[in-house]
Amino acid sequence: MNTKPQVLVIDDDAVVGRSFDRVLSRKGYEVSTALTGEEGLKDIESTEYDVVFTDIKMPGMDGLEVAERIKAKCPWTPVVVITGYGTIENEAKASVLGVSGFVDKPLTPEIIESITLKALQEPVVARPAGNETEVTPEPTPAEVIGGLRKAGIFAKNVGLFFAAPLIALGYVIALPFVGVYMMVKLGKEAIDEKRKT
């Protein structure tokens, strides 16, 4: 079993592939190269790469299409677009595709090493597990209490919603009696006042 990080470089310029190989193989990576997008996609069918670099301008399939196909098939694989034709439009398209980086040529050994490390350390979509069923994490005590509190508030609101018409009906029924009582009380007080004078 190979434990070295697997890197694929797709570029129609063989010098670029050799540069990646020279820099990264000394750092413990295993580098494969492909000269076309089609060849690179074929390699991905047989090997699981930890990071893929693709040139943007190549004959046939361009790097953005290569990145799109890789992300559709293996969304967990970081893809870095390298180019000598950097434009805002291309960067925007690459960003929408979910690429891990966009690097302009010429590439120095330091740039190659740093962009590879950055791509490998970036959080990506998790790989699907073999035949394992998805495990839902247990809620924390705070989440349980928060959920119970929300359920309690909801139950209270529902109770008030159904009780409100009954409370209103009680007021409607009681109001005439309260009104009569108040009139009798005020009348009695007025009579008592008159008798005193």
Q: Which residues of 66-104 are buried (b: 16+ CB within 10 A; e: fewer)?
A: bbbbbbeebeebbbbbbbeeeeeebbebbeebbbbbbbe
Q: Is 60 left (phi over 0), alpha (psi -120 to 50) or beta?
A: left
pLDDT at 136 over 70: no
For 123-138, what is the mean pLDDT?
Answer: 51
Residue 49, Cβ neighbours under 10 Å: how many?
21
The confidence score (pLDDT) of residue 131 equals 45
Do 8 and 39 contact (CB within 8 A), yes or no? Answer: no
The confidence score (pLDDT) of residue 134 equals 47
What structural domains and CATH numbers belong to the chain? 6-121 (3.40.50.2300), 136-197 (no CATH)
Virtual torsion, Cα 24, 26, 28, 34, nearest 10 deg: 40
Please give, one letter per residue, the 3-state secondary structure of 98-110.
Answer: CCCEEEECCCCHH
The confidence score (pLDDT) of residue 132 equals 46
Give the integer Cα–Cα distance in Å for 185 and 91.
84
Nearest to 80 by CA among 102, 65, 109: 102
Per residue in 47-76, pLDDT tens? 889 999 999 888 888 888 888 888 888 888
Nearest to 4 by CA among 129, 120, 110: 120
pLDDT at 1 over 90: no
Mean pLDDT of all residues belonging to the chain: 80
Per residue in 153-187, pLDDT tens? 777 777 777 887 888 888 788 888 888 888 898 88
pLDDT at 38 over 50: yes
Per residue in 14-23, pLDDT tens? 999 999 999 9
Lowest mean pLDDT among 77-91, 115-129, 130-144, 167-181: 130-144
Residue keyed to tokens 């035949």: 131
pLDDT at 37 over 80: yes
Residues sharing a CB contact under 8 Å with residue 89, sequence separation 6 or more, in sequence order = none
